[in-house]
Amino acid sequence: MKGNVFSKLFIFCFVYGCSCHIALAQDEKKEARPTQIFSSTKTINARTTEVTGKGKLDFNVTHNFGDAAGDNGGIKRFFGLDNAADIRIGFHIGIGEKTDLVFARDKGAGTVQSLYEIGIKQQLLRQMDNDPSHPVSVAVYANTAISAQKRSPFDDQDNSFTNLGDRMSYVLQLIAARKFGNISVQLNPTYVTRGLSISYDQNSFFALGGALRIPLISNRLNLVVDYFHPFRKQSVKDSFLVNYNLRYYDPLGIGFEILTSGHIFRLNFTNATEILENRFIPRTISSWGRGEFRWGFTISRKFSLWRP
């Protein structure tokens, strides 16, 4: 009799334990939800793994002013406010839950200006809360930028265009990000190729970028930092130094992101003069150390275009 009671008790405990385990597993599965690693589709210079969302439009404007200090800045140019270095107006359209189309007009700076950008971003993986099988977010971004600027009358310039291909440049970027607690970290391996470059420059090269986001005040004010290192040949750097007395520098951006109920506003500080990767990765010649950084801003607003 005792053995029969213990057998029934054992079976009851076993079944009850299994039921609890299944229920807990189901609860955990229900609680798994996508992690928002960054607040928007860009930090300062770097794209993020975030997408706009199906049926939504992310309208954003980025404005870079002139040098804050150095020979071309200071009080005589009101710390860069007298000069508009570059301006970009962008439309990011979510054509799917994980797919964005990008259309933008960029003023440009330097020798190549009046740029039109067409791009696509595809989110491949999404980090999930309470789901260790999805530890990171991964996206791919690709774009084409074409310059509508008038051809230079001088030879061997970045804008000495002879055909349509000379006016075009391309970017292919793999973006991988993860949120550790409240801190977001990202890597941006990037390939840039241009249809035209001057004779001793290289048309194509790789760059490695990264981004960081740290909340400061209850997720409404965030510190964002990004950085790119272009792998340009040393012989090319030496040629620019000898022929033009130009040095290339790694683009570094530092900014503060302010989140409101309807907008995302970002105050940017960067030594990159230009906004598009097609241009600032191969052509950053401004140094933080010489005060050749500029402040600017980005304002972003989302709209609903259609119901998903």
Domain holding 276, by residue range, is: 32-304
1 belongs to a structural domain: no
The yes-or-no verdict on residue 73 having pLDDT over 50 is yes
280 belongs to a structural domain: yes
Question: Looking at residue 217, which CATH number applies to its domain?
Answer: 2.40.160.40
Tell me the mean pLDDT in the region 162-170: 96
The yes-or-no verdict on residue 29 having pLDDT over 90 is no
pTM: predicted TM-score of the whole model, two decimal places: 0.86
In whole angstroms, give the CA distance from residue 267 to residue 255.
Answer: 5
62 belongs to a structural domain: yes
Count of the separate structural domains present in the chain: 1
Residue that is written with structure tokens 């797919």 in the block: 99
173 belongs to a structural domain: yes
262 belongs to a structural domain: yes
285 belongs to a structural domain: yes
Q: pLDDT tens digit string along 286-296?
A: 999 998 999 99
132 belongs to a structural domain: yes
In whole angstroms, give the CA distance from residue 109 to residue 113.
Answer: 6
168 belongs to a structural domain: yes
- Quickly list H helices, 210-267: 234-244
The three-point CA angle 188-236-272 to 5° equals 45
